Amino acid sequence: MKKYLEINPEIKAALEEGRPIVALESTIISHGMPYPKNVETAKNVEEIIRKEGAIPATIAIIKGRLKVGCNEEDIDYLGREGIKISKASRRDIPYLLSKNLSGATTVAATALIADMAGIRIFATGGIGGVHRGAEESFDISTDLEELAKSKVAVVCAGAKAILDLGKTLEVLETKGVEVIGYQTSILPAFYSRESDFSVNHRLDTPEEIAALIKAKLELGLDGGVLITNPIPKDYSLNRENIDQAIEDALKEMNELRITGNKTTPYLLAKIKDITRGSSLEANIALVYNNALLAAKISKALKSI
């Protein structure tokens, strides 16, 4: 594993000294938004984590190496190349490494690599899950499988709103992944603070969440914890409007016969157009919010 895993010296020192660290994905940089907004957002996320007293560790595959702690040059490279960079999930890692290629890591790949490095807290925007119509397409994100394997707690704003939230929760339950609501009993729906579904447990402080994570780690149980953090109120989109935008985007996607790993980038871009950019601003706000909470949880976990 050491042959492929490259841990930034700052991250390596933080691991050895027991300092708080927050892992970050890189798909949001290359596939989540346009340049230079993507690079600006990535740097802001890292700064939020640093100001809270934790160390950010942006994870990506750069020229055949699993990089834990990308530098500014790496982040700018991922942002400039954008969708030219492969979207890398668990299955893609061996191929990219064997060919000395680069990849922007999804939630699944980031959680896997963070676990390899010994990082236990990971902040993202929203996780993948069961896609609408999965009873016919069988389109279910690897994120759910990885959450059941890697010992990493993931802070998110819920599953992406384009998904079937009910079925996503059912799969998480089957996999034994606990879903926590931070200061809420309702599963947040990414762009909006509400949905028709409930989380397993509500916890109101980072310290309570850290205590749960520690208990799971000490028990030696496989898999992580999913911490859902509602989007800030000022950026929460009207639920009916966003649902209609998603339905319109899904209809057009099906007409164009877009499938596989191209569906999520297409839908997010289409929803951005339909909402005249408000979904992008909401996406950025929730990522910042999740990074802040993740840093607080990481600090609390180290202080127990």
For residue 266, give the nearest of 281, 282, 253 by alpha carbon: 253
Beta bridge pairs of residue 21: 55
**Helix H or strand E segment including 180:** strand 178-182
Residue 91, amino acid: R
Predicted confidence at residue 144, as pLDDT, reads 97
Predicted confidence at residue 84, as pLDDT, reads 95
Can 25 be counted among the known catalytic residues?
A: yes
- pLDDT digits over 52-65, tens only? 999 999 999 999 99
Exactly one of 87, 160, 296, 299 is catalytic; which is it?
160
Residue 156 to residue 153: CA distance in whole angstroms: 10
- pLDDT digits over 125-160, tens only? 999 999 888 887 788 999 999 999 999 999 999 998
Class of domain 5-303: alpha beta
The two beta strands, 65-68 and 55-62, are antiparallel
pTM, two decimal places: 0.93
For residue 59, give the nearest of 17, 91, 27, 85 by alpha carbon: 27
